[in-house]
Amino acid sequence: MPQPVKRRIDEYRIEIERVPPMRSRGLVYANRAIERTIEHDNVLQQVVNVACLPGIIGPSIAMPDIHWGYGFPIGGVAAFSLDEGVISPGGVGYDINCGVGCILTGLEEKDAALHTEVLLAALFNEVPSGVGSKGGITGVTEKEFRRVLEQGAGWAVRKGYLPAEDLDAFEDGGCIPGADPDAASARAYERGMPQLGTLGSGNHFLELDVVQEIHDRKTAEAFGLFEGQVVVLVHTGSRGFGHQVCDEYVRDMIAASARYGIDLPDRQLACAPVRSREGREYLGAMAASANFAFANRAIVAYLVRRAFERVFGLSFERLGMRMLVDCCHNVAKVERVEWEGRVVEACIHRKGATRALPAGDVRLPARYAVTGQPVLVPGDMGRMSFILCALDGARETFFSACHGAGRLLSRHEAKRVSRGRKILDELRHKGIRAMAASKATLAEEIPDAYKDVSDVVDTVSGAGIARPVARLRPFAMVKG
C-alpha cells in the first residue's frame, strides 16, 4: 500500500494525494493542534486504505476526532456507489449505532446542586451499567424483540416509554428502514434480548451537564438552551446484539471479498458489493441493530426521567425534560447526496461520525428546519462538551461532523498511565461526582486519554461544517 503523501490545504484541512491503487484522495479535517496528535499514528494509512475500496465516491474523509479503529479509522466517513461500491462492517464498527441523546431539563444548576449525590445514586441504580449489564426492562419476548428490531424508538413510543413528541428528535425518526430480524443469529438474540435499557461499559456514560456558555443565542433559544441549565447526555449503543452481528458478518465478508475478486488493502476492510446478497443481508442485520440501539437509548431516557421524578417529586413534564436530539455514530445508510453537480444515491459509512444536516434540508424535522440539526460533541469525562449546529459546509463531508474528542491513548496505555491514581478523587477535585460499575473503565477513560475537544470543535467550526451553540460542563456522571 502507498504511504500517505499529505499537504495542508488550509488551516483546517489536509489532503492525502491519490496514489495508485487509491481510487480517490484522502481529506482529513485537522487544525495544527489536531495534526500533531495524529503525526505518529497509523490512522492516515487507514484513510489511504479506505480510498482503495471499489466504488468510492469522493474522498476518503476523516473528522478531527480521528483515531485508529478496526478497518476504517474512527472518525472516518466514506460514500460508495450503489452499483459499483461496497458495504464493509469495518466501516460501521462493532457497536452499531453507538450514539448520543441529549435530554433537556427546566432545572438550573442551583436546583440540582443540593440533590447531586442522591440523583447520581438514583441514576446508577435505575440504569444497569457495566460489562454484560442486563435488566433495564424485563419480560420482552422474542416476538416482541423482533418488533424492537423493526420499529426502533417507535416501539418505545407504542409501549409508553417515550413521549410521541420526542420521536422527531431521533435521527430518521429513530428507525432505519430495511431492518431484517431474520438476518441476525440466534446468538445475537440471546445476547441482546436481556440488554434493552442498559448502558454497557467502555466509553458509554450518563452525564449531567450544566450549560456553561452560550455561543449562539438565537439558535440556543430555538433549541431550548439557556445558561445554567441542567442537561443529560446518554451515550450507548446496540450492546451485545450489534457486537454479535458485526463479529459474524466480518467473518462472512472475508469470504465474500474473495468471491467477488475484491483486492483488500487490509483484511479488516472485508466487504461485499452493496447490491450483492451478502451486502443486502448485512444491511438488514445492521439496520436491525441500529433500531435496537435507538430503542435502547429511548428506554435509558425513560429510566433517567424516572430517576429525576423520584428525586425531585415532580413529573418529568413539570421538570421540563424533553429530547433535544438523538444521533447515530456508527452506521451505514443509503442517502441522496450531491456529487460532481448531480444528486446520487450512495451508501454513506459513518464510523465515529454523526450526521449533520444544515437548515433547509428536507430530512430535518420541522423544529430544526430553520436552524439546522443539533450536533452533539461530548468531550472527556473531566472537561467540556459542546452542542453545535450543522452548516452548509457539511455538504463537503456528505453531511457529516465529528462525534467527540477522539482518543489519544489506547485503553491499555490509559490504564498504564492511570496506575496508582485515584481517578474518582481527581474528578471530585474538579467538582465532578462519578460512579462507575468498574474501576478499570475509569482508568481507560481518564481525561488524559482524549484529545482536547475544543481543538476538535475549532476545526469543524473553522471548516464551516458546524458552529458552536453552547458549551457544557460536567458535574456528575455514571460510567459503565
Kindly list the catalytic residues: 403
DSSP H helices in 273-408:
277-312
H/E stretch holding 55: none
What CA–CA distances, in Å, run from 360 to 367, 369, 391? 11, 5, 10
Contact 118, 309 (CB under 8 A): no
Residues in the chain: 480
DSSP 119: H
Beta strands in 68-220 (DSSP E): 74-81, 86-87, 99-108, 205-214
Judged by DSSP in three states, 79 sits in strand
H/E stretch holding 400: strand 400-402
| Cβ atoms within 10 Å, residue 218 | 10
CA distance 201 to 131: 5
DSSP H helices in 226-276:
239-259
CA distance 203 to 191: 20
Contact 99, 63 (CB under 8 A): no
What CA–CA distances, in Å, run from 119 to 16, 58, 312, 443? 48, 47, 9, 24
What CA–CA distances, in Å, run from 31 to 10, 41, 344, 452, 461? 9, 16, 31, 12, 11
CA distance 369 to 210: 26
CA distance 353 to 458: 16
Q: Which residue has the cell 450526521?
A: 355
Q: Which residue has the cell 504511504?
A: 3
CA distance 82 to 273: 8
Query: Within a 13 Å sphere around the CA of 61, how many CA atoms are in the beta-carbon half?
Result: 28
